[in-house]
Amino acid sequence: MWVKGRIPCSSAELNIDIVLQCGQSFRWKRDLINKSWQGVFSNKLWILKQGSSEISYEVLSSDAECHQTKVEKEQICNEELVDYFQFNVPLVPLYDAWSQADEKFKKLALRYQGVRMLRQDPVENVFSFICSSNNNIQRISSMVEHLCSSYGKQIAVYNGQKVYSFPELSSLMDESVERNLRTLGFGYRAKYIQKAAEIIEQRGGRSWLVNLRNVPYVEAKASLVSIPGIGEKVADCICLMSLDKTCAIPVDTHVFQIAKTYLPALAEKKSVTHRIYSEISIFFQELYGPYAGWAHTVLFSADLRHLKDPPEKAPKRGKNQQNNTVQKRKKNTRI
DNA sequence: GGCTTACCTTTCGG
DNA sequence: ACCGAAAGGTAAG
């Protein structure tokens, strides 16, 4: 059954259009007609819509909770949404502090308001980001969709489309997983996924992973990088996006380029070695403080091609230049 | 130890 | 439209 609700929220506290497509979660689909978003978390299908001073939602609540009263369901859904978007963390004061610390940030702050960190499920986060290595957002999204439709359970049919939960660890451990994922185009990541599931299960499964939330950042990161397919960057993504490590700075190729604008000495460096990685991480942590990872995501989002403003002076549809772009933009178009 | 190179495949961009 | 290069890297050499 559908449960509806709303949460007061200004556009400075959340910009849903950026947050749901800036590469944190790969499971959200935009509905341009209704100006809404659909996606899955907490094993439920959510339809979200941002108004000028609120987020309204409709959620398909699971059968397992059918004994609850309507009021109880509404309260649980509210809590789940607040937890997922971390609305208990006020973003505006953080933006103020980051703007004060950094002129470059200040210039982006108005255009990129409301970019906050989601608090994702650690299992989904781990396997999504194993897929992310040497890869682009579009392909990652399709791989995550494959994981769900092959190994998740169907939780709804919406607009004629089957909707799946993210798979349990135990579903990804089987020997057959690597072979199957290879046929689905996962490439060398297929083996990592199967092995990672195995090792996480050995260490205590989902609850072991979730408990890394209660472990210091350095220790949690060390645990993660010992899992196949997880290197330093992916470990930091997981720390930041699902393990409450707000200071973690994932240094990818984008952040490397951004860092060069702060640290000119980096210009001559060809690639991100561990040494450089650490240098860049520490620089941003000292610049922005304990929520440096959150600040980094604002810079990162502002740098993503599909989230940038179209060039001011460029003709909007006058040249053949746009003929390609029209198709390419179909999933990225802004309101 | 720190720095290149191979790895799967898709998408990008000149 | 084609084709080399890049894509939110990791692990092995």
Per the DSSP assignment, residues forming a β-bridge with A50 are A55
As a whole number of Å, the CA-based R_g of chain A is 20
For the purposes of burial, counting CB atoms within 10 Å of the CB of A249, is it exposed (0-12), middle (13-18) or buried (19 or more)?
A: buried
Q: How far apart are CA A204 and CA A223, in angstroms?
A: 13
Q: Residue A320 to residues A155, A306, A313, A323, A330: CA-CA distances in angstroms?
A: 43, 19, 16, 5, 17
From the C1' of B6, which residue's alpha carbon is nearest? A188
Q: Residue A68 to residues A63, A65, A76, A226, A294: CA-CA distances in angstroms?
A: 10, 6, 10, 41, 36
CA–C1' A234–B4 (A): 21
Using a 7 Å CB cutoff, list residues 83-102 of A near strand B.
Answer: none
Whether nucleic acid strand B comes within 7 Å of the CB of A139, the answer is: yes
In eight-state DSSP terms, residue A273 is -
Give the pLDDT confidence score for residue A331 in this predicted structure: 34
Q: How far apart are CA A65 and CA A79, in angstroms?
A: 15
Per the DSSP assignment, residues forming a β-bridge with A3 are A59
Q: How far apart are CA A233 and CA A257, in angstroms?
A: 15
From the C1' of C11, which residue's alpha carbon is nearest? A229
Q: In what order do the strands lie in the sheet with A54-60?
A: A2-8, A54-60, A44-50, A36-41, A29-31
User: Helices A189-203 and A176-183 sit at what angle, rounded to 10 degrees?
Assistant: 150
Whether nucleic acid strand C comes within 7 Å of the CB of A132, the answer is: yes
Distance, C-alpha A228 to centroid of its chain:
21
Amino acid at A45: L
Q: Report residue A97 as tokens.
A: 């502090």
Mean pLDDT of each 10-residue bin along chain A, 335 residues long: 95 97 95 96 97 97 75 94 98 98 96 96 97 93 96 95 95 94 94 96 96 96 95 96 96 92 89 91 96 96 81 41 35 30
Q: How far apart are CA A12 and CA A87, in angstroms?
A: 12
CA–C1' A61–B1 (A): 53
Contact A59, A46 (CB under 8 A): yes
Which residues contact residue A277 at a Cβ distance below 8 angstroms, ignoring those fewer than 6 apart?
A232, A233, A251
Q: Of the listed A44, A195, A221, A233, which one is catalytic? A: A233
Q: How far apart are CA A56 and CA A333, in angstroms?
A: 22
Which 3 state secondary structure label does DSSP give A263? coil
Nucleotides of B under 7 A from a protein CB: 2-5, 7-13
Which 3 state secondary structure label does DSSP give A309? coil
Residue A270 annotated to the active site: no
Q: How far apart are CA A190 and CA A228, in angstroms?
A: 11
Q: How far apart are CA A92 and CA A111, in angstroms?
A: 14
C-alpha closest to that of A18 among A331, A323, A306, A326: A306
Q: How far apart are CA A52 and CA A116, in angstroms?
A: 17
Q: Tell me the domains of chain A and their CATH numbers.
A: 2-88 (3.30.310.40), 89-115+246-303 (1.10.1670.10), 120-245 (1.10.340.30)
From the C1' of B4, which residue's alpha carbon is nearest? A271
For the entire predicted model, the pTM comes to: 0.92
Q: How far apart are CA A139 and CA A136, in angstroms?
A: 6
CA–C1' A134–C5 (A): 13
